[in-house]
C-alpha cells in the first residue's frame, strides 16, 4: 500500500538539544499531552523521547520509526551508538526512542509522586491512564509534530507489541508498517487465562535450567531454606522471602538468563563464625534484581494490561499460582523435589517486601479491584487490517504464550509471522540487526 513519507527534520517548533555518539546524532524531545485524552483541558503530563539518526544522514528525508519498549513501566533502552537493532534501523529510518508515559524521563509515577494526586483511591484512578490505549493516543498526539502528519513505522517489543496491536485497532491511519517482537497479545484472554497458560511454560524453563545446571537444585533449595528460617533484609531494605527468591526466575525468559541465574546461585553462601550465611555479594546482586525502585509502574499496572470487559484482575497471578502445587515453596522444602522459580508475575507480597512499593499497597489493592476497563482490541477492524504487519513469535516464549500469539496473528488480516526457536523473548536485543531485517523483509513481501 503506497503511503506518504515524512520530509526532513521534525516540526516541533521547540528548541532542541542534539549531541553525538559514535555513528549517530541524538536529539532530545519533550512533549506535553493530556493525562486523560478524553479531557484535553485537564491535567497534563510530559513525554520524553530521544531521536536517533545516522551521522551521515542528519539532513536527509527519512521515514520515522518509533520504538515502543517492553514492560509495562520501562523507559526506552539507552543505546550507546548503533547497538543491537538500532544500527540496522538507522540505515533507512529516523528513530524515535519513546519513554512511554510514566517511565524514563517522562513525568514519573512512583511512591514519591503518586501522593500528589491524593489518597489511594485517587492514585488508583490516576494509574488507569497508563495502559496501551493512552500510550497509543500519546503517539498519535506527537506523530504530526514530528512527521508533519505522515504515518510512521512502529517497532514494538513485548508490551510494546501489545501497544502496537492496540494501535492497529484504534488508529491504523497513523501507521505505515508495524513490526512486533515477542509481543502479540491474546485479544480476549482474561488475566487468569494468561497466567494459567504461563505457569506450565515457566515450569519448562525451570526444568531446562536444572537439566543444564543440576548442581543448582540443591543450591536453590539451600537458599530457600535459609530464607525461610531467617527472613533476611537486603541492603536496600527489601525483605527476602522464599516467594521473593523464587521470583528471580524471571531471568529464565532471556537467552542468557539460565546462565545468569547459575552464576548468581554459585555465590550465594559464605562461611561465618555463626555458620553459613548469604554472602554480601549475593544479597547485593539480588537486591537490585528484585527491587522495583527503577520501574514501579511494572508492578502497579502489570496485570491491568490484560484487563478488559468489566472484570477485575484481582491478583490473578497469585490466585492462579495456587493451582500449580509445584510452585509452593513451603511444600517443596517439606519434601525432596526441586524448587520451582517463578517468572513474570506480580503478587500482593511484592507490596510488603519492597520498600519502593510498600507505601502503594492500598493503591495496588484498589487498582486490582477495578472493573471499568474498556476493550483494548477491535477484532472487526483487525480482521480488515490494511497496514503491513510482521511479528516474530518465539516458539516457547516464557512471557507471552505462543498459542495466544498465533491465534491473534490469524485474526489480523495480512499479518506475517516468523516463528522461531533460535531466540528467547529478548531476540530483538540478542539478535537485533537480523531480527529487524527479517521483519522488514516480511512486512514488505520480500521474504
> Is 11 inside any structural domain?
no
Q: Give CA angle at 412 (409, 414), nearest 5°.
A: 95
pLDDT surpassing 70 at residue 14 = no
> Is 168 inside any structural domain?
yes
Q: Give CA angle at 386 (164, 433), nearest 5°.
A: 50
Please tell me which residue in 106, 247, 425, 426 is annotated as part of the active site.
425
For residues 167 and 37, membership in a common domain is answered with: yes
Backbone angles phi, psi at 409, to 5 degrees: -60, -40
For residues 67 and 95, membership in a common domain is answered with: yes
| Nearest alpha-carbon partner for 55 in 85, 18, 28, 99 | 18
The Cα–Cα gap between 349 and 435 comes to 37
pLDDT > 90: what percent of the chain? Answer: 94
State yes or no: is 55 an active-site residue. no
Q: Report strand pairing: 44-54 vs 94-99.
A: antiparallel
DSSP category for residue 30: E
For residues 136 and 260, membership in a common domain is answered with: no
Average pLDDT of the residues in 292-317: 96
For residues 160 and 208, membership in a common domain is answered with: no
State yes or no: is 188 an active-site residue. no
> Is 317 inside any structural domain?
yes
> Is 10 inside any structural domain?
no
How many folded domains does the chain comprise? Answer: 2
pLDDT surpassing 50 at residue 354 = yes
pLDDT > 70: what percent of the chain? Answer: 97
Final residue of a domain: which of 311, 345, 368? 368
Q: What is the pLDDT of residue 429?
A: 87
> Is 241 inside any structural domain?
yes
For residues 183 and 196, membership in a common domain is answered with: no
Final residue of a domain: which of 317, 335, 368? 368
For residues 223 and 290, membership in a common domain is answered with: yes
Q: Report strand pairing: 175-181 vs 389-394.
A: parallel
The number of beta carbons lying within 10 Å of the beta carbon of residue 219 is 18
What pTM value is reported for the model?
0.94
For residues 409 and 291, membership in a common domain is answered with: no
Q: Which three cell numbers, joined as nine digits, stand for 382? A: 483487525
Please tell me which residue in 106, 158, 186, 247 is annotated as part of the active site.
158
- Going by pLDDT thresholds of 50, 70 and 90, the confidence category of residue 17 is confident
For residues 217 and 134, membership in a common domain is answered with: no
Final residue of a domain: which of 338, 368, 398? 368
For residues 36 and 166, membership in a common domain is answered with: yes
What does the pLDDT look like over 67-121, one tens digit per residue?
Answer: 999 999 999 999 999 999 999 999 999 999 999 999 999 999 999 999 999 999 9
Q: Which three cell numbers, joined as nine digits, stand for 108? A: 514519573
> Is 5 inside any structural domain?
no
For residues 72 and 167, membership in a common domain is answered with: yes
The Cα–Cα gap between 22 and 255 comes to 27
> Is 118 inside any structural domain?
yes
CA 241 remoteness from chain centre: 24
> Is 9 inside any structural domain?
no
DSSP strands (E only) in 56-211: 64-68, 94-99, 152-157, 175-181
Backbone angles phi, psi at 33, to 5 degrees: -135, 160
CATH number, domain of 143, equals 3.40.50.1820
For residues 177 and 206, membership in a common domain is answered with: no
What does the pLDDT look like over 277-301, one tens digit per residue?
Answer: 999 999 999 999 999 999 999 999 9
State yes or no: is 230 an active-site residue. no
Burial class (CB in 10 A: 0-12, 13-18, 19+), 147: buried
SS3 label, residue 357? coil
CA 125 remoteness from chain centre: 22
| Nearest alpha-carbon partner for 252 in 304, 199, 300, 291 | 199
Average pLDDT of the residues in 186-206: 97
Q: Rounded to a whole number, what is the distance in angstroms from the first to the last CA of the chain?
A: 17
Torsion angle, CA of 14/15/19/25, rounded to 10 degrees?
A: 40
Domain range enclosing 355 = 191-368
What does the pLDDT look like over 218-246, one tens digit per residue?
Answer: 999 999 999 999 999 999 999 999 999 99
For residues 268 and 293, membership in a common domain is answered with: yes
Amino acid at each position: 500500500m503506497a503511503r506518504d513519507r515524512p520530509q526532513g527534520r521534525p516540526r516541533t517548533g521547540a528548541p532542541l538539544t542534539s549531541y553525538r555518539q559514535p555513528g549517530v546524532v541524538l536529539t532530545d524531545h519533550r512533549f506535553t499531552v493530556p493525562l486523560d485524552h478524553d479531557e484535553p483541558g485537564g491535567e497534563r503530563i510530559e513525554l520524553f523521547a530521544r531521536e536517533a539518526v545516522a551521522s551521515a544522514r542528519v539532513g536527509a528525508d527519512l521515514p520515522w520509526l518509533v520504538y515502543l519498549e517492553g514492560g509495562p513501566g520501562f523507559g526506552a533502552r539507552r543505546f550507546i551508538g548503533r547497538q543491537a537493532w538500532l544500527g540496522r534501523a538507522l540505515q533507512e529510518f529516523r528513530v524515535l526512542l519513546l519513554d512511554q508515559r510514566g517511565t524514563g524521563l517522562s513525568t514519573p509515577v512512583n511512591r514519591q509522586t503518586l501522593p500528589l494526586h491524593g489518597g489511594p483511591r485517587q492514585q488508583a484512578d490516576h494509574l488507569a491512564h497508563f495502559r496501551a490505549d493512552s500510550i497509543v493516543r500519546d503517539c498519535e498526539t506527537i506523530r504530526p509534530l514530528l512527521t508533519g502528519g505522515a504515518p510512521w513505522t512502529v517497532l514494538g517489543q513485548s508490551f510494546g507489541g501489545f501497544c502496537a496491536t492496540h494501535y492497529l485497532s484504534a488508529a491504523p491511519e497513523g501507521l505505515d508498517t508495524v513490526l512486533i517482537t515477542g509481543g502479540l497479545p491474546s485479544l480476549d484472554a482474561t488475566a487468569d487465562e494468561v497466567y494459567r497458560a504461563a505457569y506450565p511454560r515457566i515450569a519448562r524453563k525451570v526444568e531446562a535450567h536444572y537439566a543444564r545446571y543440576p548442581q543448582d537444585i540443591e543450591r536453590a533449595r539451600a537458599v530457600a531454606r535459609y530464607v525461610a528460617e531467617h527472613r533476611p533484609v537486603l541492603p536496600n531494605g527489601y525483605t527476602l522471602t522464599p516467594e521473593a527468591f523464587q521470583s528471580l526466575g524471571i531471568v529464565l525468559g532471556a537467552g542468557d538468563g539460565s546462565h545468569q541465574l547459575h552464576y548468581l546461585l554459585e555465590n550465594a553462601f559464605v562461611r561465618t563464625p555463626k555458620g553459613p550465611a548469604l554472602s554480601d555479594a549475593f544479597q547485593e546482586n539480588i537486591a537490585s534484581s528484585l527491587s522495583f525502585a527503577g520501574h514501579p509502574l511494572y508492578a502497579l499496572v502489570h496485570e491491568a494490561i490484560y484487563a478488559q470487559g468489566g472484570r477485575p484482575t484481582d491478583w490473578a497471578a497469585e490466585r492462579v499460582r495456587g493451582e500449580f502445587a509445584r510452585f509452593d515453596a513451603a511444600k517443596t522444602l517439606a519434601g525432596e523435589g526441586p524448587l520451582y522459580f517463578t517468572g513474570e508475575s506480580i503478587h500482593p507480597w511484592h507490596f510488603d517486601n519492597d520498600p519502593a512499593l510498600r507505601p502503594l499497597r492500598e493503591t495496588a489493592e484498589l487498582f486490582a479491584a477495578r472493573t471499568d476497563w474498556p476493550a483494548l482490541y477491535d477484532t472487526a477492524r483487525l480482521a480488515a487490517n490494511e497496514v503491513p504487519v510482521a511479528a516474530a513469535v518465539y516458539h516457547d516464549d516464557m512471557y507471552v504464550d505462543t498459542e495466544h500469539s498465533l491465534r491473534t496473528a490469524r485474526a489480523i488480516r495480512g499479518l506475517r509471522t516468523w516463528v522461531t526457536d533460535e531466540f528467547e523473548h529478548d531476540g530483538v536485543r540478542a539478535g537485533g540487526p537480523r531480527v529487524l531485517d527479517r521483519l522488514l523483509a516480511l512486512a514488505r513481501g520480500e521474504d
